[in-house]
């Protein structure tokens, strides 16, 4: 009876040992497979293109001075009319031209104890703004303002407020194609990496689309926009 019990215990112990050994093998194999599955490579793909801007915003600043406030307003109104007529006669639609109100400065109120009397008590400045899709016509006119200068209009403006702005509005139209191009280039880089490391490229583990940037191609051609995006893609690798 004792012999039978010992045999059963021995058999049970043998089964337990085999089970533990098999479990250890399976766990080790699963760990190796998981580690291989976790191998990856992260790459970047660039898409860069050039497009013409869609809209131009052209601020034209001018000024005048006088000792009589009423006549100064008349001069500013007349000069604003001359500028608008000049623009319309050269291909700019009337609804694309807008005006700000004249900004008047009384120099006698700014002397702060200075006894020197300015030649003109009042100075005024005003801005005519062109907001147009007809960029070629606007660019052609930019070099022709001297014709109005010969009529007595004084053009002014600082580097910030009088800066011409070019806007590109078709980003949503070109996004899909540029993202596809950036992703394709990223995969090309990943495939080269996998080949050099004697690995096989798997599926995408994660991907992120970088921000689109829009900038002037160069300082001499601000109406030509350079659009770029960088996509970051992580791929699985396997032996």
Residue given tokens 């021995």 in the structure block: 10
Q: Taking CA 166 as the corner, what is the angle to CA 161 and CA 171, rounded to the nearest 5 degrees?
A: 135
Lowest mean pLDDT among 69-78, 114-123, 143-152, 195-204: 114-123
What distance in Å separates the CA atoms of residue 9 and residue 3, rounded to the nearest whole number?
Answer: 10
Q: Give the residue ranges of DSSP H helices in 39-166.
A: 69-89, 135-142, 146-149
201 has which bridge partners? 237
Residue 107's pLDDT is what? Answer: 81
* pLDDT at residue 137 is higher than 90: yes
CA dihedral (66, 94, 60, 152) in degrees, to 10, reads -40
- Contact predicate 236/40, CB 8 Å: yes
What distance in Å separates the CA atoms of residue 2 and residue 135, rounded to the nearest whole number?
Answer: 105
Residues 191-198: contacts with CB under 8 Å, at least 24 apart: 193/41, 193/43, 194/41, 194/235, 194/237, 197/237, 198/239
Q: Taking CA 174 as the corner, what is the angle to CA 186 and CA 169, rounded to the nearest 5 degrees?
A: 135
Q: What are the C-alpha distances in Å from 92 to residues 81, 119, 148, 163, 223?
A: 14, 37, 16, 19, 17
SS3 132: strand
The band of 114, judged by pLDDT with boundaries at 50, 70 and 90, is low
Phi, psi of 200 (to 5 degrees): -110, 140
* pLDDT at residue 1 is higher than 60: no
* pTM score, whole prediction: 0.74
């Amino acid at each position: 009876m004792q012999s039978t019990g010992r045999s059963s215990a021995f058999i049970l112990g043998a089964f337990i040992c085999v089970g533990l050994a098999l479990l250890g093998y399976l766990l080790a194999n699963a760990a190796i497979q998981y580690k291989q599955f976790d191998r990856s490579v992260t790459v970047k793909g660039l898409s860069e293109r050039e497009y013409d801007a869609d809209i131009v915003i052209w601020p034209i600043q001018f000024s005048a001075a006088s000792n009589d406030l009423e006549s100064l307003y008349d001069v500013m109104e007349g000069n604003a009319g001359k500028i608008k007529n000049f623009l319309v006669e050269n291909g700019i639609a009337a609804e694309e031209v807008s005006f700000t109100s004249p900004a008047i400065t009384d120099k006698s109120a700014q002397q702060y104890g200075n006894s020197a009397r300015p030649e003109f008590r009042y100075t005024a400045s005003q801005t005519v703004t062109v907001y147009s899709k007809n960029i070629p016509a606007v660019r052609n006119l930019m070099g022709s303002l001297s014709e109005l200068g010969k009529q007595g209009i004084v053009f002014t403006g600082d580097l910030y407020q009088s800066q011409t702005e070019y806007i590109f509005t078709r980003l949503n139209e070109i996004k899909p194609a540029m993202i596809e191009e950036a992703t394709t280039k990223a995969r090309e880089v990943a495939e080269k990496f996998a080949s050099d490391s004697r690995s096989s490229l798997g599926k995408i583990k994660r991907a992120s689309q970088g921000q689109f940037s829009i900038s002037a191609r160069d300082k001499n051609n601000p109406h030509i926009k350079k659009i770029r995006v960088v996509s970051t893609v992580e791929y699985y690798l396997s032996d």
